[in-house]
A and B are shown apart, each in its own frame.
Chain A
Amino acid sequence: MASLSRTCLLRQASTCLRQSQPTPVQRCRNAALRRLLSTLAVLEQREGKLNMSSLASVSAAQKLGGTIHGIVAGSNVKPVAEEAAKVEGLEKVIFVENGAYDKGLPENYAPMLVENIKKGGYTHVLAGHSAFGKNLMPRVAAMMDVQQVSDITDVESEDTFVRPIYAGNAILTVQSVDSPKIVTVRGTAFPSGAAEGGSASVEEGVDPKAPCPTEWVSEDLAKSDRPDLATAEKVVSGGRGLKSKEEFDRLMPPLADALGAAIGASRAAVDSGFADNSLQVGQTGKNVAPQLYLCAGISGAIQHLAGMKDSKVIACINKDADAPIFQVADVGLVGDLFERVPELTEKLKSQ
């Protein structure tokens, strides 16, 4: 009932908002509207560790205004909830203690979220557009009869969001009439927020204990001491031009080490077996937006650019002076990567 009246109020208020230029009365309504907003941010955890990149949903929620609660689920999850309680902007952290949620399987995770969303009467539910969020949230949305808004890069208002379409070649501003609004957030588009300074309360959530028909069998994660690709400050990336896995492994890691960078790859490099799937940058791989994206032997196809063109500085080494990558690169060097990359690595090391 409370959530229903809130929805009505919200709808009225946002209709007023859209009418014309802001007036003092509307500003006042705006403030009232913001007080009525309440967001549930779905936080990811893995083996008792909070996934910091999932905090982008908290930052996006802060842009919306209103109260923000977080939710985590898994075995021995209370310490994670306490860690999350320190995240700035969160008012409450809900935890659901049950090992059945450890692997993030949507068959039981989605019903659990739906119950907690209903109980809290949230107006918005936000999660990261990660493998976890992509897998889970549309299932939640369908169960609640909501059309999800995927991979937003900006929040314009309570019901209006900005997202890239066509591999980032067009930017769509979209308004949702659904309630609650279920949204996934592009991690690189929102600051990951301060992990300290908050003092949220910690509360146990509801656990419907839905059966899970899917059995989690195993996983094989690429181990690396390097920074995580999605959140790294610097990324070095290699493409087809590296010619073989041996050359990729010979040239890219030393360059990455010299810069303290994560390693990425183009689809061509992944398909040819030079690099692991999880390193693919692009429309269907990872989206990155580091301070520096330095690539070698990558031509710059539309689908690759989709994953990296929001990088602060793009540098490239390519022997084809007409490669499309030069049209987006701030610093381009036309040359043979087999000579230039080792030279660059040496010179960076000696700095």
Chain B
Amino acid sequence: MSGLRILVPVKRVVDYAVKPRVNKAQTAVETSGVKHSMNPFDELSIEEAVRLRERKMPVEDILAFSAGPAKSQDVLRTAMAMGADRGILVVEEKTELEPLGVAKLLAKVVEDEKRNLVILGKQSIDDDANQTGQMLAGLLNWPQATQASKVDVEGDTCTVVREVDGGVETLRAKLPMIITVDLRLNEPRYASLPNIMKAKKKPLEKKTLADYGIDANKRLKTVKVTEPPPRQGGGKVEDVDGMISKLKELGAI
């Protein structure tokens, strides 16, 4: 078997610890001046790719990929500091790409770069769509294992434990395949300072949508973005009896 040629797509998103605010015009969530970082699930995918190499799997190379504003190169550098060998950034400032567009782009990258394993996060924490990996698998007609909590590669066979409603299930498929990762898969490492410095020297190729011939026209039009209705909290009680009577009053028990 030839080695693993891994593709790990990463997305730059508003940091998970930031409480998002809807802008005044109700057209989007405010992103300017807000801390951004790598989508947490994508950190897990990079980590898993690097661990496959550390487990002495025949990993030929790990390619990190991102599409979005030029600032996304920061998350690619992070991915390289964690162990990815090189990066490709498709710079697109104007249009925010939808999962279908990203999946089409990734399908081209898979073909151009002759990938045989794509490891993605199960969802991005901004759009919460949970689609890209499955869409890519559909476009390529490859096997898919989503919400992975354990990945084993032996020869060209991949065994994946996935988290499903009510427990876990185990699937097996031959490469090439698509895996999307769940939180329990691993614990991503911190990039050390020497590795961050080394990552600056790793190759990062910049491209455009036109290079891949991808049409980024959006299929979904944002009508509006609003704040969720606020909850009126703060009803504190003194003791357990108080809690029971309040719950009764509210008809909850």
Known contacts A302-B19, A331-B235; is-contact A220 B167 (Cβ 8 Å): yes
Interface residue tally on B, bucketed by range:
35 or more
Cα-based distance from A166 to B242 in the complex (angstroms): 35
Known contacts A110-B138, A148-B131, A327-B233; is-contact A141 B100 (Cβ 8 Å): yes
Cα-based distance from A174 to B136 in the complex (angstroms): 23
Q: Is the CB of B233 within 8 A of A147?
A: no
- Find chain B residues with CB under 8 A from A165 CB: 29, 126-128, 225
Q: Is the CB of B182 within 8 A of A284?
A: yes
- Find chain A residues with CB under 8 A from B50 CB: none
Q: Is the CB of B220 within 8 A of A217?
A: no
- B209 sits at the interface (CB 8 A): no
- A243 sits at the interface (CB 8 A): no
Which chain A residues in 123-140 approach chain B with CB under 8 Å? 130-132, 134-140
- Find chain B residues with CB under 8 A from A270 CB: 184
Of chain A, the residue at the smallest CB distance from B123 is A284
Q: Is the CB of B233 within 8 A of A177?
A: no
Q: Is the CB of A147 within 8 A of B234?
A: no
How many residues of chain A are within 8 Å of chain B by beta carbon?
Answer: 91
- Find chain A residues with CB under 8 A from B251 CB: 291, 313
Of chain B, the residue at the smallest CB distance from A160 is B223
Known: A170-B22, A314-B231. 19 other contacts (CB 8 A): A141-B100, A143-B139, A147-B218, A151-B130, A169-B29, A170-B227, A173-B223, A174-B223, A176-B221, A215-B172, A216-B169, A217-B172, A221-B166, A271-B184, A277-B184, A315-B252, A330-B232, A333-B242, A348-B253
Tell me the B residues contacting A by CB distance below 8 Å.
14, 16-17, 19-20, 22, 29, 98-100, 103, 122-123, 125-139, 142-147, 149, 159, 163-174, 182-184, 218-228, 231-244, 246-247, 250-253
9 nearest A-B residue pairs (beta carbon) = A142-B138, A138-B134, A221-B167, A147-B219, A142-B135, A139-B138, A138-B131, A219-B169, A313-B252
Tell me the A residues contacting B by CB distance below 8 Å.
103, 105-107, 110, 130-132, 134-143, 145-151, 156, 160, 164-178, 213-222, 230, 234, 259, 267, 270-271, 276-278, 283-284, 286, 291-292, 302-303, 309, 312-315, 317, 321, 326-335, 340, 343-344, 347-348, 351
